[in-house]
Structure 1
Amino acid sequence: MKRLEGKVAIITGSAQGMGAAHAKLFIENGAKVILTDLNEVKGKAFAAELGENAIFVKQNVASEEDWATVIAKAEETFGPVNVLVNNAGITMAKNMLDVTVEEYRRIVEINQVSVFLGMKTVAASMMKTGGGSIVNISSMNGLVAGAIGYTDTKFAVRGMSKAAAINLAPMGIRVNSVHPGVIATPMVVQEDTKAAVESFSQHIPLKRVAQPEEVSNMVLFLASDESSYSTGSEFVIDGGLTAQ
């Protein structure tokens, strides 16, 4: 049997990049997947490419109303939700002294508040099936310092995952966080950054950046019943960077 056979999964920010890699692997392993993103054109095209076991719903992850719509559409199309992957997020590479309050609040809304809303909203659906798995994508910057705003919110995702794991354990819902390092997504390996990324990779103990699929394999494990006794934990995929 496929590892996610019979499971219904929501993956946010899945029109491209790491989210798309997660969705593709989930479909290959038997899941029915609800893709969400603000990029409607790419999202719809990708869902069509994945076939009948995937649908796309346009979503602002910082909107409580949009979360209710996504859950309702999932249940209407495939049934109650078993898996939620809170993957959507943005970055901001500015010095703290140059960041406006509006910019700071925006990254908090998208990276942090969205994760709270997703966990809170999906719980009732998961309880209909006797439990589920929530996988929150943080970052290695949820463990060590990076850019202001991004680091703060990724630390918050790590903490929220632990708090939610305790709150939701009696309902059979597991919550874990995943902490990727440098991943070869289109944003990271575009032409103007490729040389810098290649140079930086030599400081990684494994001497290379990760492929999105390497993160997806971890997400798949946490979404599946193979990780049935793992909750409230962080899983690091950074080639050894934070071990130094």
Structure 2
Amino acid sequence: MSAPNGINPNIPHSARVYDYWLGGKDNFEADRRVAEATMTAVPGVRESARNNRAFLGRAVRHLTQLGIRQFLDLGTGIPTQGNVHEVAQAEAPDARVVYVDNDPIVMAHARALLTGTPQGKTAYIEADVRDPRAVLAHPEVRETLDFTQPIALVMVAVLMHIQDQDDPAGIVKTFADAVPAGSYLVLSHLTLDLVSQQTADAYLAATQSQAMHRTPRTGEQITRYFDEFDLIEPGLVAVSEWRETPLFTDTATWMYGGVGRKR
């Protein structure tokens, strides 16, 4: 691919590394070097990324089948296969989706890609998930979504990028308080609970660069994000175990995933 204006292809970026693991084309040689090095050091990281993406698709499809027609995708990342609007609108063409990301790199990649069906609507805003009130007040969000009707909050592989001092639990609560009962939270998060200590140490050593830094959390910590929600079956589990057989066999399980319904 050629670099969009303002993008330095020689600096690796976590969103493009993730795109490479998913089999996407929006990545550069610098991203591929980081991705391959991490795959060498950390067993199963690519398969886990793909299972996480598959979890997103299964969760969105399930909620659409339950009648949800509105999705607020917080921290969407670079568009790749199986975007939220594609999954939702394949089931319900009138579904409405707003994508949110604060990264100009993601914005540059996304401008021409996130178009939905004529019956529904797809919007993309550049905003910071760490400022939920600004996101919620954004005119495009208010124009696209009806906050008197249930909304699915999608926070897949995003809170692990938010450090404790930025109060990720408070961020989730602010978004949860803005949507009505019957809304849902779709969430996945990096964890080291499900791997050996040796594997965890290898992961931490391999991911300290700015391009790959993430904050893993325990299942107990992640469960607290669902304080205003009732987890639906099967609860908070490895993303590869959420409702269906995984597409890729995990040699190590890095991600918890769950879906909760607001009381």
TM-score normalised to structure 1 length: 0.52
Number of residue pairs the alignment of both structures matches: 165
**Superposition CA RMSD, Å:** 3.8
Deviations 1:102-127 (A, max 9, x none): xxxxx543x9947434421221233x
SS at match of 1:24: helix
SS at match of 1:47: coil
| CA contact 2:130–2:171 (8 Å) conserved in 1 | no
Distance 1:114 1:26 in 2: 30
Percent of aligned pairs with the same amino acid: 14
Using the TM superposition, give the Cα deviation of residue 134 of structure 1 relative to its aligned residue in structure 2, in angstroms.
1.0
Aligned residue number for residue 134 of structure 1? 185
Distance 1:6 1:62 in 2: 25
Aligned residue number for residue 125 of structure 2? 57
Using the TM superposition, give the Cα deviation of residue 54 of structure 1 relative to its aligned residue in structure 2, in angstroms.
0.9
What letter is aligned with 2:225?
A
Distance 1:112 1:11 in 2: 23
For structure 2, the 5+ residue unaligned runs are: 1-62, 241-247, 254-263
Q: Which protein has the bigger helix share?
A: 1
Counterparts of 1:98-109 in structure 2, within 5 Å, are 107-109=161-163
Counterparts of 1:39-58 in structure 2, within 5 Å, are 39-48=106-115, 52-58=120-126
Moved more, 60-69 or 77-86: 60-69
Q: Say whether 1:234 aligns with 2:237.
A: yes
Evaluate the alpha carbon distance shift between residue 60 and residue 3 of structure 1 in structure 2; reply closer, same or farther with a 3 A threshold: same
Aligned residue number for residue 25 of structure 2? none
| CA contact 1:35–1:43 (8 Å) conserved in 2 | no
Which residue, 78, 94, 98 being the options, matches 2:145?
Answer: 78
Counterparts of 1:1-244 in structure 2, within 5 Å, are 3=65, 5-17=67-79, 21-30=83-92, 31-37=95-101, 38=103, 39-48=106-115, 52-69=120-137, 73-80=140-147, 81-87=150-156, 89=158, 107-109=161-163, 113=166, 115-126=168-179, 128=180, 130-139=181-190, 141=192, 143-144=194-195, 145=200, 146-147=203-204, 153-155=215-217, 158-165=219-226, 167-168=227-228, 173-175=229-231, 228-231=232-235, 233-237=236-240, 239-242=249-252
Distance 1:154 1:66 in 2: 26
For structure 1, the 5+ residue unaligned runs are: 92-106, 176-227
